[in-house]
Structure 1
Amino acid sequence: MRTRYYREQVLEGIAREVITAYDQSLYHGVPTMIPIEDIIEAQGLTLEFQCLRKTGSVLGETIFDDGGAVIYDRDIPGYTIIEVKSGTILIDDSLCGEDSSTGRLRFTCAHELAHWLLHKELYSGTGESAAMVTESSITQSQNNTLETQANLLGAILLMPRPQLKRCFYRLRPGRDRQRLVTDMADVFQVSKQAMRIRLENQQLL
């Protein structure tokens, strides 16, 4: 499987097309939360919540071919295979718990959508899926590259550059760095860590 490399400018363009196709005001209007789950469904994809692994090592998985996917069934208890269609995004249901982070759930959804947008041609016909795993589970260099691409596009989808900058300059007066990051994370409904990384990447912090 050959890895395709995307420049950040290209990823920004992909995000712009996806977001404006859904609602142009999300890109050009007042900075607000990007409804990533609705955008996923608008892309013709199916979002499904399952217990993906007993250990919690897999947070999301994108299915590119009709077939089966392994999940953990708590009722058995044990692993089983469910039938899935191409274009299904599986999200670990632990991210929907009362104590879980909304930002982490939204980023996982955006990450998996990014896999579909960027890597469909790589995976289609291989019978393999693209999975978002915990950092300790990532070992192969190619997977590292694909995951890095999905992470970056996922962040751009949730925090589009024009909206990020509008929000930054609107909220910056009278706020220190920590408060600015916190307030901007609230606007976009992402984690403070994701917001900080995105701002630093754009050299705004």
Structure 2
Amino acid sequence: MPNGPKMSEANVYERIRPLLIKAPVPLEQIARSLGLAVEMSANLEQGISGEIACENGRYKISTASSEHPYRQRFTLAHELGHFALHRSLIGNGLDDNKMYRSDAHIGKYANSEIKLVHERQANAFAAKILMPRELLEAEIAKEKSTLGSSKAPLTKLYRTFQVSPSAMQWRLKNLGLSEQVDMDS
């Protein structure tokens, strides 16, 4: 029952783990496996990167057509984080602006229930599913071996995982893997 009782982050993560086996992770498939509808490249109001809305008990995530595809992927993962972690706070929906803030008073779903701490939690969840530790470590090892180098190129990593360079840099830093990557490449 995808839209039924609240699933914890651990439950959602365990449920989607079988889909986190290859980069880039299939985010739309993940969302649909949780019972969510997805609209990539939606015509959202200016300044809105993404939204999650609930109508008749069904959730739908939309990402802005004005955003780069890698940014859209992060936004989709971020909104999945809200679904997994903050469903009781979503109400009819919430919009996230370009800084991933829900109380921007723009868009259809300004939501003052979602605080900065919730946005940070959704970002952390997004990073965890977009760049799973095991896949990232394996890709770093593969690149180092292929190149015969002590470091993997950042460019190759963010393109493989289809995330922005800054998202990859943050994830590497948070996992303590930065020293294994050439951050200038």
**TM-score for both structures, normalised by structure 1:** 0.67
Show the counterpart of 1:51: 43
Show the counterpart of 2:140: 168
Contact 2:94 2:102 in 1 (8 A): no
Q: Alignment length, in residue pairs?
A: 160
Contact 1:15 1:160 in 2 (8 A): no
CA distance in 1, matches of 2:62, 2:100: 20
Relative contact order, higher structure (CA 8 A, sep 6+): 1
Q: State yes or no: 1:114 paired with 2:78.
A: no
Distance 1:182 1:35, change over 3 A: same
RMSD of equivalent CA atoms: 2.7
SS in 1 for 2:66: helix
Contact 2:100 2:119 in 1 (8 A): no
Show the counterpart of 2:3: none
SS in 1 for 2:49: strand
Q: State yes or no: 1:61 paired with 2:51.
A: yes
Q: State yes or no: 1:131 paired with 2:122.
A: no
Which amino acid in 2 is paired with 1:15?
A: Y
CA distance in 1, matches of 2:136, 2:9: 15
Structure 1 unaligned segments of length 5 or more: list them. Answer: 1-9, 67-84, 96-100
CA distance in 1, matches of 2:159, 2:42: 27
Contact 1:40 1:46 in 2 (8 A): yes
Kindly, what percent of the aligned residue pairs are identical? 29
Query: For 1:28-67, what per-residue CA distance to the aligned partner results, in whole angstroms no more than 9, with x for missing partners?
Result: xxx42101012112221111243221xx31111111344x
CA distance in 2, matches of 1:154, 1:50: 20
Contact 2:78 2:123 in 1 (8 A): yes
Contact 1:33 1:188 in 2 (8 A): yes
